[in-house]
Amino acid sequence: MKTFIYYPGMEVRDELWLKFALLWLERLAFVFTVSEQSRLPPLLARLARQSDLLAPPPSAADFDAITPPLMGLLGNLLDPGFVRHKVFGNRALIARWRASANHDCFCPVQPGLAALHQYCLEQGLASRDQGGIRMARRLANLLSMYLAREWALTHDGLLITDHDYLDRLLHLSESRYQPSGGQACFHLEMGLRLPASLASLSFDTLLARRAAPGYGAALGTFHLALAALCQTLGKGTATQEQLLAFAQARDALEQKVLGEDSDASPPVLLPLTWLISTEQGALPMLSRLRGANEALARPLIFHPVRQSHFQKRKSQHGFTRLGQIRRAP
């Protein structure tokens, strides 16, 4: 089962995102706890008891392995000669993060993060609070992004967020754009259908739907087809047959996702956007796929191709947009 690692922390915008995850994701894990939403912890505890959605968070040993490089990066930002970092920003922004008045995000104590928390306290990037520390929310989000990336790379996980600006920053942290050479990169956008009444559907209803006979098999088939398509898109070798297999798996799962709700009102589309970087030229491959894609009832959207040079190991990451779901009646 594929695990999607959500970042930043557990700060999903609301329960609606968890409802989407319950219907469309095999496994979901959180890394850096930064949420102050009082309703989420009891709900997450319930999902852990009554479903197989939630995967264990990183262990203390995992954090012990991935936090030292992050503290080294923070040290570079605090160096007197520091000018600007392409992800973390400039000296003025770092100075604002060190002002206690801007420490508006509570980060509770977590096993394995004591050294990182202590470092942030010593450097003025955080203030001590009961049960944890407080730091600027943007800094907490960026630390969560880096921790999630390192954990995903060592555990074959997929990164997902509903903050598209963090998805862009994650790509920027792994690469630099250049006019020629490098790898061809593009965003693949796929529309996933959800009940228009998702906001009003109870978790009892959604848990029962996920536990229904055949749901798990359809969910597994969808994610196998998604993984196969993304892998071959990354190699520049995707075929029309793989594209059709993905569309069939998506449509089969959607029937179970919607249940009887589609009879009451038309479903709404949730865009799931995935970053693809190809080892070979992307344009010839996309040209070969164009006819089969246009013939689909709901074609995938291949966004414009850009060239990027990767300086580090590439993670697999994407983002969602729930705006249409929130606007649905």
Tokens of 1: 């089962």
Cβ count within 10 A of residue 68: 12
pLDDT of 207? 96
Strands 126-129 and 317-320: unpaired
pLDDT of residue 34: 54
Cβ burial, residue 225 (10 Å; 0-12/13-18/19+): buried
Other CB atoms within 10 Å distance of the CB of residue 132: 17
Q: Distance between CA atoms of 190 and 187, rounded to whole angstroms?
A: 10
Cα–Cα distance, 102 to 125 (Å, whole number): 10
Strand 317-320 relative to strand 158-161: parallel, antiparallel, unpaired? parallel
pLDDT of residue 321: 76
The pLDDT score that the predictor gives to residue 172 is 81
Closest by CA position to 24, among listed 270, 219, 161: 219
pLDDT of residue 113: 93
Residue ranges, the chain, pLDDT below 70 = 10-13, 33-39, 176-181, 261-264, 310-313, 322-329
Radius of gyration for the chain, computed over Cα atoms and rounded to the nearest angstrom = 21
Give pLDDT, residue 310.
66
Q: What is the pLDDT of residues 87-141, one digit of tens each?
A: 888 899 999 999 999 999 888 888 999 999 999 999 999 999 998 999 999 999 8
